[in-house]
Copies of this chain bind each other. A is one copy, B any other.
Amino acid sequence: MQAEIITIGDEILIGQIVDTNSAWIGEQFNLNGIEIMQITSVRDNSDQIKDALKSAEGRADLVVITGGLGPTKDDITKKVLCEYFETELEFHQATLDHIIERFNLRGIDMNKLNRDQAMLPANCSVLPNKLGTAPGMWFERNNTIFVSMPGVPFEMQYLVEFELLPRLRKTGKTKAIYHKTVLTQGVPESMLAERIADWEDALPQHIKLAYLPNPMAVRLRLTARGEDVETLKQDVEHEIEKLKPIISESIYGYNNETLAEVIGRMLVERGKTLGVAESCTGGYISHLVTSVPGCSDYYLGSVVSYSNNIKEKVLGVKAETLEKNGAVSEEVALQMVEGVKKVLGVDYAVSTTGIAGPTGGTPDKPVGTVWIAISGPNNTFAKKYVFVGDHREHNITRSAQTALQMLRRMVLEDLGK
């Protein structure tokens, strides 16, 4: 089944809101084997909405429309749908009963605008909206199904899950699909592509591979399409087993896992603890680590030492080392990591010291220079990176992610011992 989404509303086009509805529907449909071929966002304008409907009708088996169903003047979707399907608004008693019930529960008075929400196009099937006053509407024409839903995310989500998907499954047109994403790091996209070229070429026809790179990782998404989800799952897992030995050292997780989650799981499994000493990353590593629920089981804390004084006083970095090598140096990174390990009494620690920019660089130590040190039960070392560009946020993010990468490798190697 091929579907398209049309989202309606000026606020989307001027960037006042991000269209998260389409992504949510895309994910749900995808999991149910419904392919989204196009997403179109248009203004609250009758001609534009009709043009979008007409184009989609020519291509798709299913057209999902969100937005423009509120009670106020600027919401015109219902009127446009009546014109498009050459029908009239008709009073719908069950919807009015539901609206009255909602207003009674909230103890507020209804006005005419609310009452008008029970006027619905005569030729649609109504999808009752338990969580709001505007119901969903289901139309059919020339083998295309059209479903219009409110744009309020939780109302739309309720309608998709409890009304739309059950009805679509009954049509028998939904396909089986299975996805798994392999998370890799340390090898750039182009090199990774070379390394796995033979494996990729040998993938069976019904499994597709997509590269999803971001500055810190390359995600490899495998998508299998067929008749039976269990079989597809086995097929995908089988291919991943073949992929593993080729790039085993680069794979750090699967699907939506974050690096901090992966590290957290490893530390919990081993009963080890973690601490952080941050200079240039300014608390961002600690933020990533503490974004994981339950992190207090292994994370003890961070010392964000943005001044030399604190490096000395709290972390025990030696004044002469700072004097001689500067704050951005291997020696200081090492003393920071050893200092925080001792102060917090943790098994593992990472430290960062660098120049995030946009200013503060020198010819010797340009903006983007960062020393990262890692220390564990068996080993302590520091490594220098020079990230390109004077983009502060970017340098902070890269430094933090790189530190977590190094930490993951060390915990992994210790696991092997």
Q: Which residues of A contact B (CB under 8 A)?
A: 10-20, 22-30, 35-43, 48, 52, 55, 70-74, 102, 105-106, 108-109, 111, 113-114, 130-131, 152, 154, 179, 181, 188-191, 193-194, 209-215, 221, 223, 276, 278, 281-287, 289-291, 293-296, 299-307, 309-310, 313-314, 343-345, 356-360, 386, 388-389, 391-394, 396
Contact = CB atoms under 8 A, between A and B. Distances in A.
A289 B393 CA distance: 12
B310 A305 contact: no
Contact of A211 (B74, B301, B357, B394): B74
A213 B70 contact: yes
A391 B294 contact: no
B12 A23 contact: yes
Contact of A154 (B73, B152, B289, B394): B394
A339 to B, nearest CB: 11
A18 B27 CA distance: 10
Contacts of A23: 12, 15-19
A15 B10 contact: no
A11 B210 contact: yes
Contacts of A358: 293
A118 to B, nearest CB: 13
A131 B389 contact: yes
A282 B293 contact: no
A105 B386 CA distance: 8
A104 to B, nearest CB: 10
A14 B30 contact: yes
A18 B16 CA distance: 15
Contacts of A344: 307, 309-310
A223 B43 CA distance: 14
A333 to B, nearest CB: 16
Nearest to A366: B105
B296 A306 contact: yes
Given A14-B26, A37-B42, A282-B286, 8 more contacts: A38-B40, A108-B188, A283-B283, A283-B287, A300-B307, A300-B309, A304-B304, A310-B343
Contacts of A189: 70-72
Nearest to A117: B190
Q: Which has the most chain B C-beta neighbours within 10 Å: A35, A293, A309?
A: A293
A190 B19 contact: no
Given A72-B190, A131-B389, A190-B111, A28 B15 contact: yes
Between A24, A25, A210, the greatest number of chain B beta carbons within 10 A of the residue's beta carbon is seen for A210
Contact of A16 (B27, B48, B290): B27
Contacts of A35: 13
A357 B283 contact: no
A283 B301 CA distance: 9
B39 A294 contact: no
Nearest to A105: B388
Contacts of A37: 13, 42-43, 48
Given A154-B391, A154-B394, A193-B113, A289 B300 contact: no
A303 B314 contact: yes
Contacts of A179: 14
Given A72-B189, A287-B287, A345-B309, A359 B13 contact: no
A112 to B, nearest CB: 8
